[in-house]
Amino acid sequence: MNNFIGKLMIAVLLSASSVSVFAHEMWLEPEQFITQFNTDLKAHIKVGQNFSGEKFPYIKSETKSFKLFLTQKEIKLKHRDGDYPAIKSPLTSPGLYVLSYESVPEKVNYASFEKFKSFLEEQNVWDNWSKKNPSFINSTINEIYTRYAKSLVQVGSKSEEDFNTGLPFELIAIDNPYKNENEKGIHVLLLYQNKPFANSQITVFNKLNNKVSIAKTTTNNDGKTLISLENKGLYLVSAVHFVKSESKSADWHSLWASLTFEQ
């Protein structure tokens, strides 16, 4: 699949949706989050909302980095434009594998200021933003966005931990969600530019039997929060940060972090 077709697929998906582009999450979803070694990891890039979305191939021009780690050591991945699933890699050893993805910044145009405002309200940052930027209220909004996604895959029973993979905006599971002692909840750390990011809204999606529940929490002064894992199923943890853009092509830059695992 070439770059043109990949771009076309994304354009069709977003234009067909009744929800504006800002409402779409991007996450990594392995076909198996828990498996044994000497099998193959197959993981998809997914875009959608409420933890339901479409699968997309690996597109080089859309990707700044896509890495796989075991015991904090990078495993060389062989990417080809159009790979579907987006990631395929043999799992030759037991342990906690960490997938880490960073997209190339993309530009988005809001149809109206009200849609932009709704996005900020959804992320619980509208009050703070509007106080600091009154001159931009009701103006044309030019924005770029970048995705920072991670996924945790448990292979065998060897217990290891998630870690800071170096993404500019990153969610880290301080506790391994696959350990029995953590089955009721784990602590998550949010980093921005390698520093704890306080008072950020964290959205937690839980999907079981195609039913999705959504919970929200906020990081403390140390950038940490507790995620409840009372329910089984797949988990998508996400955070959004909104800053003034350093690019001349846009006024604002939204950064999206996500983390997926299974319980």
- DSSP line for 113-171: HHHHHHHHHHTT-HHHHHHH-GGGTTS--EEEEEEEEEEEEEESS----------SEEE
Average model confidence (pLDDT) across the chain: 89
Is residue 93's pLDDT more than 80?
yes
The pLDDT of residue 43: 97
pTM: 0.89
Confidence of residue 136 (pLDDT cuts 50, 70, 90): confident
Mean pLDDT on 158-172 = 96
pLDDT, greater one: 142 or 145: 145
Q: Among 13-22, 68-77, 183-192, whose mean pLDDT is lowest?
A: 13-22
Element housing 187 (H / E) = strand 185-192
Q: Kindly give the residue spans of alpha helices, DSSP state H, lying in the chain.
A: 3-16, 113-122, 126-132
Task: Give me 28's structure tokens.
Answer: 């990594």
Q: How far apart are CA 182 and CA 46, in angstroms?
A: 27
**pLDDT given at position 246:** 87
At residue 116, the pLDDT reads 86
Tell me the C-alpha to C-alpha distance, in Å, between residue 11 and each of 8, 43, 47, 120, 256.
5, 22, 12, 23, 19
Q: How confident is the model at residue 16 (pLDDT cuts 50, 70, 90)?
A: very low
Banded pLDDT at 251 (limits 50, 70, 90): confident
Quickly state the pLDDT bin for 30 (edges 50, 70, 90): very high
Write out pLDDT tens, residues 226-244.
999 999 999 999 999 989 8
DSSP state of 248: T
Residues 168-224: pLDDT tens digits? 999 999 999 999 999 899 999 999 999 999 999 999 999 999 899 999 999 999 999
Percentage above 90 pLDDT, the chain? 68
